Amino acid sequence: MLKFTKQQVVAEYLPDTVSPQSMKTFSFAPSNIALCKYWGKRDAELNLPINSSLSVSLAHLGSKTRILLSDTEQDQVVLNDELLAADNSFAVKVIAFIDMFRRGADHKVRVETENNIPTAAGLASSASGFAALMQAVNEFYRLELDLSLQSAFARMGSGSASRSLFTGFVEWQMGQREDGMDSIAAPLAAQWPELRIGLIKVSTAQKPVDSRSGMNRTVATAHLYQSWPMQAAADLSQLHTAIETQDFKLLGQTAEQNALSMHATMIASWPPLLYWQADSVTAMHKIWQLRAEGLSLYFTMDAGPNLKVLFNTADEAEICKQFPDMQVITPFGNQ
């Protein structure tokens, strides 16, 4: 049973009429990688999570979006300079998001989005995509919503988008309210300039099961999922300690165990859900072997086969030698 629809929740915070104005510049939002993952919804309509999560943003890698008034008969969505078909699943989601704010007003829009996340890197763009779209909507309709409200509304487009309104370490509080207005993200003050994230591409093909269906399947069928909220709460608190004390070993260990625990719940679903490929497992063994030999590196993985390697700049040269094709990201800028 639906408690609140998105439209009902958003309407509380909007003026009676909107006054759209074409944007001259693009809004930008960074992508993010969760160190403590969001996995499982307590409300599928509002994307309210079962657990709180914590991520690190990917600095200049993300999405930029602008919205223009259009005199066409249909709305238009352009992704990386390509006009999408009206029934394209991304275009449908973007227009549904716009409709939460347009509320039947008589105008058409042209939404232009560009991702500078190399699509070939196998990184999700939905987080940065919906965060940039939220910022663009705020400007286009001149709503003047603060970042907390934007985080709550971006979450309705994609859960992880709530964290992409901010840079650095970001925590998304699960919240308790039925309308979800306390389920918002906020940045942590701490920085970690030496932190590096390496991307190991195993496959860039579209994943067969998207994260929404994957979460639903896990929550509905895996008894093992019952332990996940406990694991996530413990990991979140460890990550806070690791970040406050700049303890890289604790950060890496917690992030890796958190990701593997999430994947364990997926594997225990029915039908089983295994995003890994043979090359994913080979890369895990290589990381464990290098760690046994004294290198300090850990990995995390999302709902896909690619690995994101965590390390500090002191080990960068040696780790890059071991993984020559790995793309390295500096979440806090070059140090």
Cβ closest to ligand PMV, residue 38 vs residue 192: 38
Cβ closest to ligand PMV, residue 109 vs residue 202: 202
Cβ closest to ligand PMV, residue 69 vs residue 230: 230
Cβ-contact 141, 19 below 8 angstroms: yes
Token readout for 312 is 């500090």
Cβ-contact 48, 183 below 8 angstroms: yes
10 vs 16: CA distance, rounded Å:
12
Q: At what angle do helices 211-221 and 248-267 cross, to 10 degrees?
A: 70
Q: Closest separation between CB of residue 64 and ligand PMV, Å?
A: 19
Cβ-contact 67, 137 below 8 angstroms: yes
Q: Closest separation between CB of residue 289 and ligand PMV, Å?
A: 26
Cβ closest to ligand PMV, residue 141 vs residue 228: 228
Cβ closest to ligand PMV, residue 109 vs residue 232: 232
Handedness of CA 216, 221, 226, 230 (dihedral sign): negative
Cβ-contact 102, 69 below 8 angstroms: no
Q: Closest separation between CB of residue 213 and ligand PMV, Å?
A: 10
Cβ-contact 163, 170 below 8 angstroms: yes
Applying CB under 6 A, the residues found at the interface with ligand PMV are: 34, 37-38, 53, 124, 126-127, 158-160, 211-212, 302-303
Q: Closest separation between CB of residue 19 and ligand PMV, Å?
A: 31
Q: Closest separation between CB of residue 49 and ligand PMV, Å?
A: 8
Q: Closest separation between CB of residue 293 and ligand PMV, Å?
A: 30
Cβ closest to ligand PMV, residue 51 vs residue 138: 51
DSSP conformation letters of 122-135: T---HHHHHHHHHH
Token readout for 23 is 């944007």
Cβ closest to ligand PMV, residue 37 vs residue 66: 37
Q: Closest separation between CB of residue 85 and ligand PMV, Å?
A: 22
DSSP state of 174: -
Q: Closest separation between CB of residue 37 and ligand PMV, Å?
A: 4
214 vs 219: CA distance, rounded Å:
9
Cβ closest to ligand PMV, residue 128 vs residue 138: 128
The residue to which tokens 């259009």 are assigned: 70
Token readout for 42 is 């307590």
Token readout for 13 is 């915070």
Q: Checking DSSP bridges between strand 76-79 and strand 108-115, what pairing results, if any?
A: parallel
Q: Closest separation between CB of residue 112 and ligand PMV, Å?
A: 22
The residue to which tokens 């859900």 are assigned: 273
What is the rounded end-to-end Cα distance, in angstroms, of the chain? Answer: 51
Cβ closest to ligand PMV, residue 126 vs residue 306: 126
141 vs 21: CA distance, rounded Å:
7
